[in-house]
Structure 1
Amino acid sequence: MVENHEKYLGFPTVIGRSKKAVFAYIKDRIWKKLQGWEEKLLSRAGKEVLLKSVIQAIPTYLMGVYKFPSGLIQEIHGMMARFWWGSNDKGKQVWRLATNEHSLVSRVFKAKYFPHSSIFEAALGPISSYSWQSLWSSKALVKEGMFWRVGNGNRINIWSDPWLIDDESRFATSARIDDGCNMVAELIDVNSCCWKLDALERTFNDRDKVVVLAMGLVSAFRRILSYGLGLKAVVTR
């Protein structure tokens, strides 16, 4: 006679109404791993390897069987993001300026230091405050994991913006064609909200075509600034 167990081979045997409670052990396991790593001095590359190879692998088997509650996924993303950023408060501020463009602080910095571009294209400038110098020096950290999710594609450059995501790169790897497409919008059929297959065939190599076709266009045709470790913000422009 077998006693009743909460888990069998790592899987919950009973799913009640509170799914977050059932899957809480996954969050606890991830939290313990991250806490152990926080005591060590890790480079950004080291953090990325650990997050992708260890943390993201923990829930893989269960996700193949059960649909995870959205709240649990958000909590896991949050833990990964906190581990990635660590004590880099300036990196967090850069992210807030980039994704909360209508805040007072964002409007002040934009008017003074990058009125005609985003914060990521902004130059340091010959005369700048200590606050701006600190933020500007942290852009590289944020840009390492940033990518765009496609809405209408009007302001996403095919060749210079990070928008194609797989294990190889965040950028297009195809050879650029003279007189070819430059903006992602040129690859989208606005009426059907689908990719133009003929344009993809002319523009991309096999790798890029596969990645593009695997992507879904963002509803309401908004582009979304996302981060590879779970951060995401809607940019309504």
Structure 2
Amino acid sequence: MMQAELEDLSLQNSANNAQRISTLKSEINAILHHEELFWRQRPRSIWLQAGDKNTKLFHQRESQRSWKNHISGIQDTDGGWHTSDEQIAHVAEQYFKELFTPTNPTDMGSVLDAVDRRVTLDMNNALLQKYTPDEVRRALFQMHPSKSPGPDGMSPFFFQKYWNIVGFDVTKAILLKTILPTIISEAQSAFVPNRLITDNTTVAYELLHRMRNNRNGKVGQMVVKLDISKAYDRVEWGFLVYKARYFPNTSFLDAELGNNPSFVWCSLLAARDIIYAGSRWQIGDGRKIHMATHNWLPHPPVFINPPPVNMTVHDLINGESKQWDRGKLFATFDRRTCETILTMPLNHQTTQDRLVWMENKTHTFTVRSAYQVALCLQQPNHAEHSLAQAQGNTWKRIWKLNVPPKVRTFLWRACSGCLPTRQNLHKKRVKIEEHCELCAHQTETVSHVLWECPFARNVWASFKGSIQKCSNEPTDFLFLFQKMWQKLSLGELEKWATTAWWIWHARNKVYFERVQLHPKVIFESAIKWLEVYQRLNEAQRV
């Protein structure tokens, strides 16, 4: 009903309907937002934020997930095939009953004596203590809001939101979480922080590679594929690690490819240049840092006399004063390099040297920052607008704007000069006139259609404040954005960016639907759309 009314009012194209159109859009957006959040939780797509009409994607993922998890039939231990829901449930129940029924072994002592004790007496006493509501609350609020729904379908979000009401009735403790880091083995990589379950895949690949190349001799090897039914079972075998195989006496940074390397090792080694480029050594005792080959200064050192290959930074430190040896420095490096070294404090000489990632403020390696380093190594001027190279912060400013994601993407494309304007299409040899269809006078460039065209100027006339004093002379849109960044407040800039998107949207309605929106409707729709987005975005964060 509301959608039909909105379409009717939009077709009338009257400024008198602007208030009713805005009200209808707000109500429809609120309904769609709740629907989107519902479908986002159903397929458990927690990796993707709700917003920008992702409901269709969530719906498709839920359908795919339901189809993938559907059990059409099941085979029992005797080979019989069962398809009804009751039979499937009975077979599954019997299977797990047999699986988890103890066999009551008689000689458990000899087995337990061979197992290293992980839970200490203090830990055990802590586990036996009565839990407190405070501990339960902490455990609950550490859970992801959209994960682990209970039998009633309620996710942690419900209990977190209404804890003051239901907390007393649902208090159940999970105290084991506090001691898990001490009892989990390093081999259980899926449970170790900063590890991936795929680490085990690379070890398995390395094992197969070694066995494939070891076919000589009388003693053979074989691979046994096991179906591990119990989640608590563990299979032990002697396995290879990469350090023992490829660089037993050195570090990964100094490792060589070796003879007959595996594909995984070749791939890991190929990424080493990225680590070299994005990292720098933090000086401890200086024994690991090779003076000539390692990256330990903000700029490459300039030598007066080339040092020995195996000379380390430790050799530049005075053993008695624990400070830089100025005599060795000025005998080895030029003056600029010496001055740089002398500004570096030696506060960590009791610790070992360590490699620090320098491509973000937290000095923590991330795939995102490594990807940027890889792009710079491959092509230093990758995908950059010619004028943006001198203003590297421009893109960061765009991506940080609190506007709908499609507006940020649109703004980036506009500043990069890659919107499909008539001029750009003509350059791509599309048979189309370059002139703007809205004014029929000037060439349709990005800055023209969004800023200079009379069609756009009528929209900008509704924008109060500093923008009215800006010139509408022909200019590059990137330069225009940078100018707006300097003149407008952050809130005004977000309104300006959203209005620019709506001008482009209105331009497309003229070209493809032959519908021309009133300038006031365009402006008010842009402001209302931004307000609804920011309000919903804020509610979602809370």
Structure (1/2) with the larger helix percentage: 2
TM-score normalised to structure 1 length:
0.46
Structure (1/2) with the larger strand percentage: 1
TM-score normalised to structure 2 length:
0.21
